Amino acid sequence: MGASPEHGPQRPGEAFDRSSVEFGRSVSFFDAIYGFAITLLVTNIDLPPARSWSSMSALLDSGLISQIFGFLLSFVVIAVFWRVNYRITAGILLMTPPVIVWNTVAAFFIVLLPFTTQGTSDPGTSDFALPTALYAANIALASLAQAALRLSARRQGRVPGARTLIRLAQALPHATVPAVFLASIPVTFLAGPGPGRLVWASLLVLGPLTGRLEDKARPGA
């Protein structure tokens, strides 16, 4: 339980409930990390040279479109990761050390996204396989860290339990994202960045399908 006047301050390593100051500080800290990472993305957009502003065609030829697309893609990615983190945190009754650890691991990969975005959106490097593979690995590892966060919370009883089949169905959407991005890595090295990124597009179909399966698995659905 959280610190109280009757019991005094808690020792490091103990759990804090939602009414405690420590719980609120933890949530605010991780929210700020997602906000900071999404803000850093704009630094990947280089100001085109003055001559590129002479006409729209010159501006398009400067590579600005590629950088803006990379910015928009990663903006959506980080926003989705924050939403997942928000939903997980909303179901946590106690802020325990394992929950903090996995939240920190996920935050590490989120903060790394502006860096890997630079490699995939910069016109000078976007045609290489390695930047696209690193970006895919970055997203997959962030997703796996969030899955570990969810599992850690559930194992400790912080998220209401469910039967095994229901838990598997609920976990499927969270396994789909890392599976797709990890699968795109060998495709990227064998066929190039373009085909590798097309693998990501499969989430447009798989995401809604697994989402509906998760909804049906919820109690009362």
**What is the pLDDT averaged over residues 91-119?**
93
Q: pLDDT class for 62, splitting at 50, 70, 90?
A: confident
- Between CA 216 and CA 202 the distance in angstroms is 22
| Contact by Cβ (8 Å): 120, 132 | yes
| Contact by Cβ (8 Å): 139, 181 | yes
- Is the per-residue pLDDT at 146 higher than 50? yes
| Distances from the Cα of 109 to the Cα of 21, 78, 184, 195, angstroms | 26, 10, 18, 24
Q: Report the amino acid identity of residue 57.
A: S
Question: Angle at Cα 169 formed by Cα 167 and Cα 175, nearest 5°?
Answer: 95
**What is the pLDDT averaged over residues 44-63?**
79
Q: pLDDT class for 213, splitting at 50, 70, 90?
A: low
170-209 confidence digits (pLDDT tens): 555 668 889 999 999 999 999 999 999 999 999 888 777 7
19-41 confidence digits (pLDDT tens): 899 999 999 999 999 999 999 99
